[in-house]
Amino acid sequence: MAKDEKKTEGQKLQEKLSYKRKNYFEEASKEERDAIFSYAEGYKRFLDVSKTEREACEYAVRAAKENGFTEYFFGDKLKKGDKKYFVNRGKSVVLFRVGSKNPEQDGFRIIASHIDAPRIDIKQNPLYEDSGVCFLKTHYYGGIKKYQWTAIPLALHGTVILSDGSKKEIRIGDEENEPVFYINDLLPHLGADQMSKNAGRFIDAEQLNVVVGGLPYPDKETSNKIKLTALKILNEKYGMCEEDFLSSELSAVPAFSARDVGLDRAFIGAYGHDDRVCAYPALTALIEQDSEHTVLAMLVDKEEIGSEGTTGIQCKVYEDLMEEIALALGANYRKVRAASKCLSSDVTAAYDSNFSEVFEKMNAAYVSCGTCMSKFTGARGKSGSNDASAEFVGEIRKIFADEGVVWQTAELGKVDVGGGGTVAKFVAKLNIDTVDLGVPVLSMHAPYELISKADLYSNYKAFLAFLK
Ligand code: MN
Ligand code: MN
């Protein structure tokens, strides 16, 4: 009070009329700060066992079951209070709860995030040896800076369907005692030519070959002895033959685990914050938040390559699910969609003072200033973007204000410098009001990305508020 009385007229007026972004760590009470840090522990555990969309999906199903959710199949009856999960091909999952409000008037409240992340996929005929080393050939997945994926420890994750139709899950390289895999880079001593290239050509895609072995099979009469050793190990461990790679989905992902970063542990470094830093809060908020609304958390696949295919959000299966829910509740699906609201929950670029030239300071997302709303994404004049309406942004703003959510708003970089897209436009197409909301990330799409624990928790709080 005394402090307030000392303020001048102008200072008071400025406070009343001006907008200022807030640092959430600074705003948080002691209790809330503790909550920020303890929530991050669960998130790190989730990251370490969810390096592919299949693993994230499995985690979500496990968490759902543990919290009384049961599996839903098309055509099932639904009633108020039901807690359900719907799995799509083991690669995406939708959790939902049936609320007491009339869905024709209230619609659904939807959070849509993705659980796939950039990585190095293994080709269908990948195995060869050359000059004492056995490699796997690869085809990268999503938008990566290829040179960042060399000379780091990699783990091999994925699924192989054998000739008899049986399925084998492969996961090697995350445990302390397991071997890792590796992509070579050139030594600087011989790198003069390489160093003169621009970074996009620094490592060619066809040079991203993964080292998998070096031990020759002990038989002088055979050729490709190192490859044979690799095949033998795969055969002993998984019953695999070389031909089984044809029906496999294997990926090399960073073998790093999620770690606190900084003396004060404010940040988390990890592989795949994009977009598990939104998927995890979506999952936990949906599990925890009892709501009068009918609410859905969609954890989808294939966002990094355009939301295509049977597991990307453009697939009809998600619409079918919403229609089935509406039908089961005796509601007109078109009315339900028209009344629904969606947070398209994906990460955005955090302002980086080391690369300030690509950001417009007033409209950038700052780490620790809370989860970030992007009214629009896209590139060059908002092209390819869902540009949310002022009315809808106003509605969400009010929800956040009522629940004390610390949040910010931003665009992805300076106008005309670059851009990006999310699943927002595909949901909006269904006549569902949608806006982007997600955590600012440093070094997005790098093998090890950085986020602030405050932003993670703010995202979770925003979802709790939205679903309430
Ligand atoms: Mn993303
Ligand atoms: Mn991405």
pLDDT digits (tens, 9 = 90+) for 238-268: 999 999 999 999 999 999 999 999 999 999 9
- 259-261: strand order across its sheet: 259-261, 267-270, 449-452
End-to-end CA distance of the chain: 34
Give which of 303, 452, 440, 271 is closest to 372, Cα–Cα: 440
Domain 18-117+271-467: CATH superfamily is Zn peptidases (3.40.630.10)
Q: Is the pTM of this model over 0.95?
A: yes
Tokens linked to 309: 């295919």
Least confident of 73-77, 369-373, 375-379, 407-411: 375-379
CA–CA separation, 370 vs 393, rounded Å?
A: 16
CA–CA separation, 365 vs 23, rounded Å?
A: 11
CA–CA separation, 99 vs 449, rounded Å?
A: 37
Residue 374: beta bridge partners? Answer: 436
Ligand nearest to the CA of 115: 1
**Which residues sit with Cβ closer than 5 angstroms to ligand 2, an ion?**
274
190 Cα: distance to centroid of ligand 2 (angstroms): 33
144 Cα: distance to centroid of ligand 2 (angstroms): 9
Domain 119-254: CATH superfamily is Aminopeptidase i, Domain 2 (2.30.250.10)
CA–CA separation, 123 vs 250, rounded Å?
A: 8
421 Cα: distance to centroid of ligand 2 (angstroms): 9
184 Cα: distance to centroid of ligand 1 (angstroms): 28
Ligand nearest to the CA of 278: 1
The pLDDT of 161-166, averaged and rounded, is 98
Give which of 319, 351, 356, 326 is closest to 440, Cα–Cα: 351
The 10s digit of each residue's pLDDT in 46-104 is 999 999 999 999 999 999 999 999 999 999 999 999 999 999 999 999 999 999 999 99
Ligand nearest to the CA of 275: 1
CA–CA separation, 170 vs 237, rounded Å?
A: 9
377 Cα: distance to centroid of ligand 1 (angstroms): 12
Asked if the domains at 18-117+271-467 and 119-254 fall in one CATH topology, the answer is: no
User: Could you please report the per-residue DSSP string of 262-278?
Assistant: STT--EEEETTHHHHHH
376 Cα: distance to centroid of ligand 1 (angstroms): 14
45 Cα: distance to centroid of ligand 2 (angstroms): 21
Ligand nearest to the CA of 445: 2
Can you list the pairs that 392-400 forms with residues at least 24 positions away whose Cβ atoms lie under 8 Å? 392/341, 392/433, 392/434, 392/435, 393/435, 395/341, 395/433, 396/341, 396/343, 396/435, 396/437, 396/466, 399/465, 399/466, 399/468, 400/462, 400/465
* Band of residue 2 on the pLDDT scale cut at 50, 70, 90: low
Q: Which residue has the tokens 């590139």?
A: 379
> In this predicted structure, what is the pLDDT of residue 421?
86
Ligand nearest to the CA of 114: 1
> In this predicted structure, what is the pLDDT of residue 215?
98
444 Cα: distance to centroid of ligand 2 (angstroms): 7
289 Cα: distance to centroid of ligand 1 (angstroms): 24
The 10s digit of each residue's pLDDT in 295-344 is 999 999 999 999 999 999 999 999 999 999 999 999 999 999 999 999 99
441 Cα: distance to centroid of ligand 1 (angstroms): 10
34 Cα: distance to centroid of ligand 1 (angstroms): 28
Whether residue 293 contacts residue 100, with contact meaning beta carbons closer than 8 Å, is answered with no
Domain edges within the chain: 18-117+271-467, 119-254
The pLDDT of 389-393, averaged and rounded, is 97
Tokens linked to 106: 């209230």
* pLDDT, averaged across the chain: 96
Ligand nearest to the CA of 422: 1
Residue 154: beta bridge partners? Answer: 181, 254
* Band of residue 393 on the pLDDT scale cut at 50, 70, 90: very high
Ligand nearest to the CA of 444: 2
Ligand nearest to the CA of 118: 2
The 10s digit of each residue's pLDDT in 176-235 is 999 999 999 999 999 999 999 999 899 999 999 999 999 999 999 999 999 999 999 999
137 Cα: distance to centroid of ligand 2 (angstroms): 23
